[in-house]
């Protein structure tokens, strides 16, 4: 009897596994077509200075407007894009698109703001990575100091030597670098002092229970101090309430980003922040 049950369970797993892998194959082939079909787009989420309470930049966040499934979040397709290598192509498109958008805002005479782009590990480790960035900056005519690249700890820890080399090169052409999702994956504290980073982004998981949890408060305060001591500025992401904002502001956090201020929005909806 037990054996029979085991068999059924196995069959069930096999079936659902098959279904999942077929779905993934379909999704992967859809994704391959998505760029050509203009289904990928960028949303922009404002970042506010705690000092002036004004927008000083946006983070570009990719969306996939799938013809059948509607808007798909990057958490659903970025991992797939990374596994298949498509991310290299996608991230290049994102970088180009974000710079193009910035150029357009500048041409319209809107207020100058920075734009931050997320790059995956694979993109960052491409041999011609620096040339790609340079040629995109040149083609779009963007001043490199307006571009910020967000890297996660994973990118840095996977190959610290390449990371250091590429970060230094990016800095030398004037691009700014942020460490995204700080504190969630690794404790790369020893690398922090080696890397010439401009900004730390405190992951939103530290903010979630911060107001009720003294330990989280201590960690957040320590991260802000650490960043400042290493001459970096700090952004807190995932700020959802005024109480969280007040805590961050009174503890000298430099910038905030989150639903309390605004969600990521299509380009046309963010003009109000820069006119």
CA torsion sign for 130, 131, 136, 141 is: positive
Query: In the complex with ligand C2E, which residue's Cβ is closer, 45 or 101?
Result: 45
- Helical spans, DSSP H, in 35-140: 74-84, 86-107, 121-124, 129-140
Query: In the complex with ligand C2E, which residue's Cβ is closer, 5 or 256?
Result: 256
Considering the rule CB under 6 A, would residue 118 count as an interface residue with ligand C2E?
A: yes
Q: Which stretch binds ligand C2E (CB under 6 A): 71-79, 210-218, 219-227, 265-273?
A: 71-79
Q: Which stretch binds ligand C2E (CB under 6 A): 3-11, 47-55, 132-140, 258-266?
A: 258-266
Considering the rule CB under 5 A, would residue 255 count as an interface residue with Mg ion?
A: no
Q: What is the helix (H) or strand (E) element at residue 222, kind and residue range?
A: helix 214-229
Cα–Cα dist 239/181, whole Å: 14
Considering the rule CB under 6 A, would residue 46 count as an interface residue with ligand C2E?
A: no
Pull the structure tokens for residue 270: 């963010």
Considering the rule CB under 5 A, would residue 176 count as an interface residue with Mg ion?
A: no
Considering the rule CB under 5 A, would residue 148 count as an interface residue with Mg ion?
A: no
Site for ligand C2E in 150-179 (CB under 6 A): 150
Considering the rule CB under 5 A, would residue 180 count as an interface residue with Mg ion?
A: yes
With CB under 6 A as the contact rule, the residue among 92, 101, 106, 120 that binds ligand C2E is 120
Residue (of 71, 84, 91, 66) closest to 21 by Cα position: 84
Cα–Cα dist 227/271, whole Å: 31
Cα–Cα dist 20/234, whole Å: 40
Are 120 and 87 spatial neighbours (Cβ–Cβ below 8 Å)?
A: yes
**Integer angstrom CA distances of residue 158 from 54, 166, 195, 266:** 36, 13, 14, 33
* Residue closest to ligand C2E (Cβ): 258
CA torsion sign for 213, 214, 215, 218 is: positive
Q: Which stretch binds ligand C2E (CB under 6 A): 154-162, 214-222, 237-245, 248-256?
A: 237-245
Report the partner that residue 133 touches, choosing among Mg ion, ligand C2E, none (CB closer than 5 to 8 A by kind): none
Site for Mg ion in 95-124 (CB under 5 A): 118
Considering the rule CB under 6 A, would residue 259 count as an interface residue with ligand C2E?
A: yes
Considering the rule CB under 6 A, would residue 248 count as an interface residue with ligand C2E?
A: no
Q: Which stretch binds Mg ion (CB under 5 A): 18-26, 175-183, 240-248, 263-271?
A: 175-183
Report the partner that residue 94 touches, choosing among ligand C2E, Mg ion, none (CB closer than 5 to 8 A by kind): ligand C2E
**Burial class of residue 162, CB neighbours in 10 A (0-12, 13-18, 19+):** middle
The tokens 């997320």 sit on which residue? 118
Residues at the contact surface with ligand C2E, assessed by CB under 6 A: 45, 61-62, 73-75, 78, 87, 91, 94, 118-120, 150, 180-181, 204, 237-240, 257-259, 264
């Amino acid at each position: 009897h037990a054996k029979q049950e085991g068999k059924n369970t196995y069959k069930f797993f096999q079936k659902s596994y098959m279904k999942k892998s077929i779905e993934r194959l379909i999704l992967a082939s859809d994704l391959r077509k998505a760029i050509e079909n203009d289904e990928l787009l960028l949303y922009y989420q404002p970042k506010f200075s705690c000092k002036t309470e004004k927008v000083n930049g946006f983070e570009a966040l990719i969306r996939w407007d799938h013809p059948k499934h509607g808007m798909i979040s990057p958490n659903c397709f970025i991992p797939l894009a990374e596994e298949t290598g498509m991310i290299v192509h996608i991230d290049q498109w994102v970088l180009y698109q974000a710079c193009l958008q910035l150029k357009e805002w500048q041409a319209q005479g809107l207020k100058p703001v920075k734009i931050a782009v997320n790059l995956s590990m694979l993109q960052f480790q491409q041999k011609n990575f620096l040339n790609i960035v340079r040629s995109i900056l040149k083609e779009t005519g963007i001043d490199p100091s307006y571009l910020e690249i967000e890297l996660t700890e994973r990118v840095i820890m996977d190959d610290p030597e390449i990371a250091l080399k590429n970060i230094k090169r990016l800095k030398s052409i004037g691009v700014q670098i942020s460490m995204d999702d700080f504190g969630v994956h690794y404790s790369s504290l020893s690398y922090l002092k080696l890397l010439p980073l401009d900004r730390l982004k405190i992951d939103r998981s530290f903010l979630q229970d911060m107001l009720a949890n003294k330990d989280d408060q201590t960690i957040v305060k320590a991260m802000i101090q650490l960043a400042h001591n290493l001459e970096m500025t700090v952004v807190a992401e995932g700020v959802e309430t005024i109480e969280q904002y007040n805590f961050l502001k009174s503890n000298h956090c430099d910038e905030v980003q989150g639903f309390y201020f605004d969600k990521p929005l299509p380009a046309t909806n963010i003009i109000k922040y820069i006119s």
